[in-house]
Structure 1
Amino acid sequence: MEIISGERKDLGRALCIITGASKGYGRTLALQLSCLMKPRSVLMLVARSADQLNKVKEDVRALNDGHKKLDVRCVQADLEKTEGVEKTVQAIKDTSSSDMDHFLLINNAASLGDVSRSALTFTDPAEVNRYLSLNVSCVLSLTARVLQAFPHRAGLQRTVVNISSLCALKPFPSWVLYCTGKAARDMMFRVLAEEEPDVRVLSYAPGPLDTDMQLQARRFSGDLKLRQSFSTMFSEGQLLSCEESGAKLMKLLLDDEYRSGAHVDFYEL
C-alpha cells in the first residue's frame, strides 16, 4: 500500500466486498472505494437486485475508465437466507487473492423493520427472528465465513466494517427492531476485535442519510415526535448526503488510526 507523507494514499491491491451495494449508501461506498483500489483489485458487490447491481457496476467502471484495471463482480444474493450467504462466500472463495494487500468487508446490508409499532406489539417470535436473521445472524455468519476463507498471513491486512447507527447506543421509540439489531451488531464486532487482534474492526455510524430508509422513517415512524424530528431535518436540509458521510469513512480507513472494535460516529470526526 502506497504511503505518502506518513499517510496511506490507497488501500493497495485489495479485495473489497460490500453488502447492500445496489443503491443508497452501499452504491456510494462502491464508487468511493473503487477510487482507492490499485489495479487488479477486486470489488465485489452483493445485493438482491441484479439489475441495480449491474447499474452500479457500470457506474464504477465509468468512473475508473482509463485509469485502472478493476475487476468488478456482482453477486445477486438474499443475505436473509442461508443460501444467500453460501452463494456470497463461494463467490469470494473463487476470487484469486494470494497476492492481495488488503481484504475489506463492509457489512452495509440492513433493513429498517416495522417502525410503526411499539415493542409490546411484537408478540410473534417468528416475526422478530426474520428481522434478526438478515440484520444480525447472517452478518455474523458471513463475516466468520469470509475471515476463515482468508486467514491471517504476512502482508495481508484484514478489515471488517459494520455500518452502524446512533440507534446502537440510543433508544428510539417505535424502533425496537432496528435499535436491537444495531446494538447487537456493535457488540458482535467488539467481541470480534477482542478475539482477533490481527483483524481491524470498525463500527461506523454514518449519520442521518438522505436515503430511501430515511424516507421510510419520515413516513412510518409510530412515534410522532420522532417522525416530526426527521421531517424537520429533511425540510431544513440537515440530512447528510451519502457522499459526504462516505468520504469520512474513506478517511478513517486510510488513516487507520481508530481503535479496533470502536464505534465511531460521523459527527465525531
Structure 2
Amino acid sequence: MSQTIAIVTGSSRGLGDALASQLATQVNQLITVARTDNAQLQELARQQNCQHVHYRADLADPVQINAVAQDIFSQLDLSASQYILINNAGTLGPVGQYNVLGHEKALDIASAFNLNVNSIIMLTSAFLTATRHTGADIRVINISSGAGRAPTPGWGVYCATKAALDMYTRVVKQEAPHARLVSLAPGVIDTGMQKQIRELDLNHFPNRSRFTQLHEKGELSNPEQLAHQILNYLHRDDFGQTEIDDIRHYS
C-alpha cells in the first residue's frame, strides 16, 4: 500500500499548525517539531488514524537541532512511497537599521540564523541522506519570504537568513537529484509574527505602516486557506521545477 510520511517544523501555531493539521488528514505518519506540544493536532491525528510523533525542541539551539535530527532519522520508516519535509519554523529575529552592536544583539543574530538557516540545513541534509536509496517520491518545501528577494530597511538579519535559505535550496537541488526542493515565499500571513511586526518601533522599522494597512484592509492571508494552497502546490506534477517560487503566483 502506498504510504506517505510528512515532517513539519514549527507546528504549534500559525501556518505550521495549519499545514500539520491538514497533513494529518492526508498522510499515514506525521512527524512534527516545535518548542511546545499541540494537543489538538494530536487528537486530530488520532481521529484520522494518522500516526503522529512530536518532538519538543528549540531549533534555535544547535545542540537540540542535532539531537532531534538524529532522533527522527535514526527511526524513520524507510518503506514509504513518499516523504515530505516542510521546514516552516522561523523567526523575524532582531530588528534595527544597521546599529546591531553589543553582546545581546550578537546572540539574537546567531539565534535567528540557527533557526532560519542552520536548522533547515541540518534537517534537510539528514532527511535527504536517510531517504536517498528508498526510490520514493521525496519533496521538500522551505518556507522562505519575499524579504529574502527584496531589501527591507530594519530587516537586515531576516532578509539575510531568507536569502541564504533560497541559495541553499538552489544548491541542494543540484546536489540531490533524487529529491524535489522548493524555497517558497508564502506572502503576508495573519499570524503572531505579523502582530509583532505591527508593534515594531518606527525608528527601527520604517515600513511598519505598510503592514498595518494590510491588516486594517483585511489583506493578510488566512493560515488555513494558505496551507491548503501550499499543499495543493506541493502535490503538483511540476513541483520542484522552479526551486525559488512564490505561492501568490498560483492564487
Instruction: Give TM-score, length-normalised by structure 1.
Output: 0.85
* Aligned residue number for residue 209 of structure 1: 189
Alignment of 1:18-167 (within 5 A): 18-37=8-27, 41-50=28-37, 53-62=38-47, 64=48, 69-115=49-95, 117-122=96-101, 125-154=106-135, 156-167=136-147
Task: Out of 230-239 and 126-135, give the one that drifted further.
Answer: 126-135
Deviation at 1:55, TM superposition (A): 3.2
Aligned partners of 1:193 and 1:261 also within 8 Å: no
Deviation at 1:225, TM superposition (A): 4.5
**CA distance in structure 2 between the aligned counterparts of 1:17 and 1:36, rounded to whole angstroms:** 13
Deviation at 1:261, TM superposition (A): 5.6
* Aligned residue number for residue 171 of structure 1: 151
Pair 157,221 (structure 1): closer, same or farther in 2 beyond 3 Å: farther
Gaps of 5+ in 1: 2-11
Pair 250,179 (structure 1): closer, same or farther in 2 beyond 3 Å: same
Pair 118,195 (structure 1): closer, same or farther in 2 beyond 3 Å: same
What amino acid is aligned across from residue 55 of structure 1 in structure 2? Answer: Q
Pair 160,221 (structure 1): closer, same or farther in 2 beyond 3 Å: farther
**CA distance in structure 1 between the aligned counterparts of 2:166 and 2:45, rounded to whole angstroms:** 30
Residues 47-88 of structure 1: CA deviation (Å, up to 9, x unaligned): 0113xx2332224434x2xxxx21011100111223322332
Deviation at 1:95, TM superposition (A): 3.8
* Aligned residue number for residue 15 of structure 1: 5
Deviation at 1:224, TM superposition (A): 5.5
**CA distance in structure 1 between the aligned counterparts of 2:87 and 2:101, rounded to whole angstroms:** 26
Instruction: Give SS of 2:219's match.
Output: coil
**CA distance in structure 1 between the aligned counterparts of 2:84 and 2:101, rounded to whole angstroms:** 36
Instruction: Give SS of 1:120's match.
Output: coil
* Aligned residue number for residue 5 of structure 1: none
Gaps of 5+ in 2: none
What amino acid is aligned across from residue 56 of structure 1 in structure 2? Answer: L
Task: Out of 217-226 and 196-205, give the one that drifted further.
Answer: 217-226
* Aligned residue number for residue 235 of structure 1: 216
Pair 225,80 (structure 1): closer, same or farther in 2 beyond 3 Å: closer
Instruction: Give SS of 1:183's match.
Output: helix
Deviation at 1:126, TM superposition (A): 4.2
Pair 99,174 (structure 1): closer, same or farther in 2 beyond 3 Å: same
Pair 122,252 (structure 1): closer, same or farther in 2 beyond 3 Å: farther
What amino acid is aligned across from residue 78 of structure 1 in structure 2? Answer: D
Instruction: Give SS of 1:58's match.
Output: helix
Deviation at 1:20, TM superposition (A): 0.4
What amino acid is aligned across from residue 41 of structure 2 in structure 1? Answer: V
Aligned partners of 1:18 and 1:30 also within 8 Å: yes
Deviation at 1:268, TM superposition (A): 0.6
Alignment RMSD (CA, Å): 2.0
Instruction: Give SS of 1:36's match.
Output: coil
Instruction: Give SS of 1:188's match.
Output: helix
